[in-house]
Every structure is written in C-alpha cells, then in structure tokens.
C-alpha cells in the first residue's frame, strides 16, 4: 500500500462572516433554530489543528486573504 497517497484525517468547521466558527452540525442546528444566520461556509482543517490556528485561518478567509 502506498502510504504517500493516503489523506490525513481532517475536520470540517462552519464559519460566519463575523469570524465565529463551530462544527457544521451545530451551525446547521443554530441556523435551523434561527439563532444564527444560515450564511455560514465550510472549511476543512487537519483533524489535530489547534483552535488558535483555526481562528487565524477563519479570519483570513473572512477577510478574503
């Protein structure tokens, strides 16, 4: 088996234009209940990504960098 072709595990996060982020299931529920707008997007990060890294990357996505 070729180990170089295996993908590393990832996690998906939902994020809003404000920079707030959470798991996609929570985002969908919050939008369904009307607690948060449904204008969130999904990004993918390494499964072991530090929350501080996700914060930084989400802010860059929101700012369009």
Domain residue limits, the chain: 10-63
CA distance 19 to 4: 34
Q: Supply the pTM of this predicted model.
A: 0.83
CB neighbourhood size of 3 (10 A): 5
The pLDDT assigned to 65 comes to 62
CA distances from 20 to 6, 7, 17 (A): 31, 27, 7
Q: pLDDT tens, position by position, for the chain (65 residues)?
A: 455 557 889 999 999 999 999 999 999 999 999 999 999 999 999 999 999 999 999 999 999 96
């Amino acid at each position: 088996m070729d180990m170089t072709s295996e993908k590393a595990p990832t996690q998906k996060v939902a994020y809003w234009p404000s920079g707030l982020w959470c798991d996609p299931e929570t985002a969908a529920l919050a939008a369904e209940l009307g607690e948060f707008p449904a204008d969130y997007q999904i990004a993918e990060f390494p499964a072991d990504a530090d929350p501080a890294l996700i914060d930084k990357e989400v802010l860059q996505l929101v700012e369009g960098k």
